[in-house]
Structure 1
Amino acid sequence: MVGKQEHSREFFGGHARLVACPGHADERGMLTPFAFDQLPFAPCRAFTVSGTPAGGVRGGHGHRAGMQLLVCLHGRIEVLMRHQGEEAALTLESAAHGLLVGANVWCQQRYVTAGSVLLVFASEPYDPASYIREPA
């Protein structure tokens, strides 16, 4: 479940923010539920990014509308964000936190470790015409 109000970092006046994704751990491992009714948007689709070599770069765009939640399921992924001339960066390295990204925030992900896996929940259908290719 993603905590709507729980965040430890906010970027660009709230257009992007780190949110807690509480999990349940025991001797068998970790279970991290994602309750869609706890998100500030209704997910329309989900996808994973995997198989990217260490140092590989993905993303490199923003979206004109909608929101996304980025969660690193495995490995370590650095996220560079730009919005209205400002820049911020953070590292995702567990499913304990996700990055909520709003419209018009340009993002690029650098896969620090081989085998890293990114899970993305998106509020909008896939539409490359909605991409913002150049950093804002």
Structure 2
Amino acid sequence: MPVDVPGFEGLVQWVPLPARADARGRLLPLEFGDLPFVPRRVFTVAEVPAGTVRGEHGHRTGQQLLVGLQGRIEILLRHGQREASTVLLPAEPGLLLQAGVWCRQTYAQAHSVLLVLASEPYDPASYIEDWA
């Protein structure tokens, strides 16, 4: 069951993911029918040097589910005057962002990998660059 991020009720939620691990490694199966939306676009961000900042935008429409696959990714969220920080780690819940939430990702460790599932196809016109 999704859990709201404090201060962002209804806008940002932690979504449990069915990760499984054993001596052979970690498996993260994602059944699209079990997600809060059916993804229309999926991408990864990888090979990012430590300390690099990415994102720094929101979307006017749609939803995104951010999943930390490797390393540590620090997240800054903004919506109007609200602001919150959190961290994405492997084998942790994914972070579901609703439309209108501005998000910055800081790749705190080299070799961090972010998986993004989006409810909408790529459209640069939907970007919100300024959160205010």
What TM-score does the superposition give when structure 1 sets the normalisation length?
A: 0.91
Structure 1 residue 65: Cα displacement: 0.4
Question: Stretches of 4+ moved more than 2 A in 1?
Answer: 6-11
The yes-or-no answer on 1:121 pairing with 2:117 is: yes
Percent of residue pairs identical = 55
Note the residue ranges of structure 2 that are not aligned, 5 or more in a row: none
Q: Give the Cα separation in 2 of the matches to 1:28 and 1:75.
A: 19
Asked if the contact 1:56/1:112 (under 8 Å) is kept, the reply is yes
TM-score by length of 2: 0.94
Amino acid at match of 2:118: A
Aligned residues: 132
* Other-structure match for 1:20: 16
Partner of 1:45: 41
Superposition CA RMSD, Å = 1.3
User: Does structure 1 residue 112 correspond to structure 2 residue 108?
Assistant: yes
Deviation at 1:10, TM superposition (A): 4.8
Contact 1:74 1:94 in 2 (8 A): yes
Distance between the aligned counterparts of 1:21 and 1:28, measured in 2? 19
Unaligned runs of 5+ in 1: none
1:135 matches 2:131: yes
Of the three residues 74, 77, 81, the one matched with 1:81 is 77
